[in-house]
Amino acid sequence: MERNSSHFDPGSKFHVANGFQYIPYFVAHILQFQMHESLCKAAGELDGDKPLFQCDLTGSKKAGHQLSRMLKMGRREPWPQVLQGLTGSHKKMDASSLLHYYQPLYLWLREQNEKLNVTVGWNEDSEDDSRNTCDTAG
């Protein structure tokens, strides 16, 4: 179904409709991928060409100890210090882990769009208020 700015899609999100703050949810989503990648590295799961989405932490004592150390910090330390304690280097949020996780899917989708001659994006030539509709006409 085509969408434009007259539709209120954000209102359908649970957090918006129920008055919850969205920023902590957004931050947690970024940090979860950053932490996952760090734990996968500790577990030796990313050696070679193994993609991040195939990482399995099951039974990894190294990843478990690293996670345990982080959780023991609790609220004593500011979150950048806790993050650095887990990752070993990063004190800032970094969305690159999210991009690493979804890289194979992104490449596959790009390939499929090229095969089908599909253009993804917004139609900038539109003069009406439907600029937010996705132009897939190719």
DSSP symbols for 58-85: TT-HHHHHHHHHHHHHTTTS-HHHHHHH
Average pLDDT over residues 7-30: 76
Per-residue confidence (pLDDT) for residue 6, from 0 to 100: 76
pLDDT score of 137 more than 60: no
Per-residue DSSP letter, 36: H
Whole-Å CA distances, 18 to 4, 29, 35, 72, 116: 23, 19, 28, 32, 40
Question: Which of the pair, 120 or 29, is modelled with greater confidence?
Answer: 29
Per-residue confidence (pLDDT) for residue 125, from 0 to 100: 62
- Of 97, 34, 116, the closest CA to residue 70 belongs to 34
Please state the φ and ψ torsions of residue 118, each to the nearest 5 degrees: -100, 130
Per-residue confidence (pLDDT) for residue 23, from 0 to 100: 82
pLDDT score of 131 more than 90: no
- Residue written as token pair 């991009």: 99
Q: pTM for the whole thing?
A: 0.72
Amino acid at 19: G
Terminal Cα-to-Cα distance of the chain (whole angstroms): 17
pLDDT tens digits, one per residue of 88-119: 887 889 999 999 999 999 999 999 999 999 88
Residue count of the chain:
138
